[in-house]
Amino acid sequence: MADSSSPLEVHCPNCKAMLPDEAVLCVACGYHLKEGLHVANITRPDADVGQASSHNPYRSPSSAPSSRVRPFALIPLFTINGRITRLQWWTVQLVWFFAMAVLGGLMENAFVPEWFGVLTFWICIWPVFAAQIKRWHDINKSGLWCFINLIPCVGPLWALIELGFQRGTKGPNGYGDDPIS
């Protein structure tokens, strides 16, 4: 027969970490169970009035994300929100160019059927389009500026100059935070 007096598991209401029965503070997230606040929101007696403590002495140290730019970090390729740097834009353009060159060579030598090449082209064009929208956002322009590419000769050249060589807006703009900061 099972023991019915086994204790129930206690979990933090904030992060759902398992806690001992008599716990007062969640060591995973710093949530004070009795006060219903994070330790960071509880004022210390030695702190200035109105100043909240941002240090949780019970939380294990964690490495903060680097504020440096990671130019080759994985770009969310299929979203059109936010901003990207010129280097990230150039990376997407060059990877797409070389992928299409390889695909074209495979199609020419009949290693890949034509329908597969056309389908792959249309699937792979979206990340290039999304990257272009994000670069327009970086220079504080609407993504509708992508339509400038439809103007023969002048449009693609204009887009190349603005997106590939012009520095984005310093600091946050209407489309998000500065990707360099």
For 150-178, write each residue's pLDDT tens digit: 999 999 999 999 999 999 999 889 888 88
Q: What is the SS3 assignment for 51?
A: coil
- Residue 82's nearest CA partner among 161, 136, 7 is 136
3-state secondary structure of 93: helix
Q: Of 34, 19, 25, which Cα lies nearest the Cα of 9? A: 19
pTM score of the predicted model: 0.56
Which of 79, 72, 68, 66 has the alpha carbon at shortest distance from 129?
Answer: 79
- Torsions phi, psi of 124, nearest 5? -80, -15
Condensed to tens digits (0 to 9), the pLDDT of residues 119-129 reads: 888 888 888 99
